[in-house]
Amino acid sequence: MSETKKFMYVNRKAPYGTIYAWEALEVVLIGAAFEQDVSLAFVDDGVYQLIEDQDTSGLEMKNFSPTYSALGDYDVKKIYVEKESLEERGLSIDDLQHLTWEDEDEDYAEKDSIQVVTRAEMADLFAESEVMFNF
């Protein structure tokens, strides 16, 4: 398929309490093969997905949080986290995983994938996107 669309995956759910976050990530990974213009947004409880040091060993559930750090390898480089959603929850970017991608045009320099944006900026990003997935 030659057509490229602007995809926006909107993540609004916390991990583990329900499966939405994990199965959303599966869509993103599979979707990467279609070479679309992909962005991920984390708003509301979705910001909890990116918290560092998740340990699910006491639950016997798969800890899927390391998968986020592989997103760069799948060419998913635009990860937007909403500032207001973080602040409402008493979180800052320092509480989140440090996600990066390698820029092959700049000798594989490591670049940050996560951008913290305001709600107004997020609204603009949503408005510009062509297809929205909500999880």
Nearer to other proteins, 23 or 102 (CB): 23
Amino acid at 77: K
- Nearest Cα to 100, choosing from 58, 69, 64? 69
> Footprint of other proteins on residues 30-59 (CB under 8 A)?
30-31, 33-34, 36, 43-44
Neighbours of 89 (CB within 10 A): 14
> Footprint of other proteins on residues 6-35 (CB under 8 A)?
7, 10, 12, 19-20, 23, 26-27, 30-31, 33-34
Angstrom distance (rounded) from CA 106 to CA 109: 6
**Tokens standing for residue 57:** 């060993």
Nearer to other proteins, 10 or 114 (CB): 10
CB of 103 to other proteins, least distance (A): 25
Neighbours of 40 (CB within 10 A): 27
Question: What residues line the site for other proteins (CB under 8 A)?
Answer: 1, 3, 5, 7, 10, 12, 19-20, 23, 26-27, 30-31, 33-34, 36, 43-44, 119, 122-123, 126-135
